[in-house]
Amino acid sequence: MIQAPKPSRRTSAFLVGTLGVLCFAALGCSRIPGRPGPGPEVVRPEQVVDFSTLYKENCAACHGVTGKDGAALALNNPVYVAIAGEDNIHRVIAGGVDGKLMPAFAKSAGGMLTDQQVAILAHGIVQTWGKPGVLAGQTPPPYADAEAGDAARGQQAFTASCAKCHGANGEGSQNGKYKQGSIVDPAYLALISDQGLRSIILAGLPDRHMPDWRGGSEHPLLTGQQTTDIVAWLALHRTDNPGQPYAETNTTAGSVTGAAK
């Protein structure tokens, strides 16, 4: 076996010395390697395990700093938290909403958060914004629909329960106590999944006076089937090219079953 020639003692000493100088130069000479610096340690992103920091850094921009008044669904609604439950909330945070603005956060789905951080977020939302007993013993329709929707029946249910505030065809109303934009505008529907619509109908928007599935004094209690049917009717208004002038083409009509689009 041929052995590589050992470096002479002098070469070794030279190397160690040079490396030492380089190390000191790199550290700015002011720090002895290994000793913590004067400021607080910079926490690596995957080491953040505090719910409010995680929420602020990853969610507040879209869901609002306090879980409301953001562009996306208010998460500070205890009725939403009760209906969705921690498992569904966890699943959405991890995997996102396909084709919509809600990103997938789990590293396994291409996001930036560890499984532990996703779990802290889901649990924190339930702890922070949930309210045990908020459903007052009533059983809400299921979070996700099991049945296919019937758009014709949905239109009737819409007329009975929603038209009062959203206008006869969902195109908005300018008069009276409430002012709403259109919820059948393809540009609006392009931004929200069928599940997103269902979540709003089931849980309401308490900060904006939109009742939950029970209707308050505004409409009769909705069944799960009625909710599914209404979503099917709203979804009929989706188009392939939202925002284009030829909004009448509707190739998704007829295939609407309430699945996320």
Q: Which residues bind ligand HEC (CB under 6 A)?
A: 58-59, 61-63, 72-73, 75, 84, 89, 92-93, 97, 100-103, 105, 121, 161-162, 164-166, 178, 180-181, 183, 192-193, 195-197, 199-201, 205, 208-211, 218-219, 222, 230
Cβ-based nearer residue to ligand HEC, 24 or 107: 107
Smallest gap, in angstroms, from Cβ of residue 167 to ligand HEC? 10
Identity at 114, one-letter amino acid code: T
Q: Residue 62: which residues within 8 A CB-CB, separation 6 or more?
A: 70, 71, 72, 101, 102
Q: Which of residues 97 and 253 has its CB atom nearest to ligand HEC in the complex?
A: 97
What is the spatial distance between Cα 66 and Cα 55, in angstroms, rounded to a whole number?
Answer: 9
Shorter beta-carbon distance to ligand HEC: residue 14 or 98: 98
> Given the structure tokens 């799960």, which residue do they identify?
224
Q: Closest separation between CB of residue 246 and ligand HEC, Å?
A: 24
In the complex, least distance from residue 159 CB atom to ligand HEC, rounded to whole angstroms: 10
Query: Cβ 97 to ligand HEC, closest distance in Å?
Result: 4
Q: Which residues contact 20 (CB under 8 A, 6 or more apart)?
A: none
- Radius of gyration (C-alpha) of the chain in whole angstroms: 27
Residue 182 vs 247, nearer CB to ligand HEC:
182
Residue with smaller CB distance to ligand HEC, 24 or 178: 178
Tokens representing 170 are 């969902």
Residue in 98, 77, 105 with CA at minimum distance from that of residue 192 = 98
Residue 180 or 253: which CB sits closer to ligand HEC?
Answer: 180
Minimum CB separation of residue 84 from ligand HEC in Å reads 5
CA–CA gap between residue 256 and residue 99 (Å, rounded): 16
**CB 70 to ligand HEC: min, Å:** 8
Output the six-digit token pair for 26: 């790199």
How many alpha carbons lie under 13 Å from residue 87 in its C-beta half-sphere?
2
How far from each other are the two terminal CA atoms of the chain, in whole angstroms?
Answer: 68
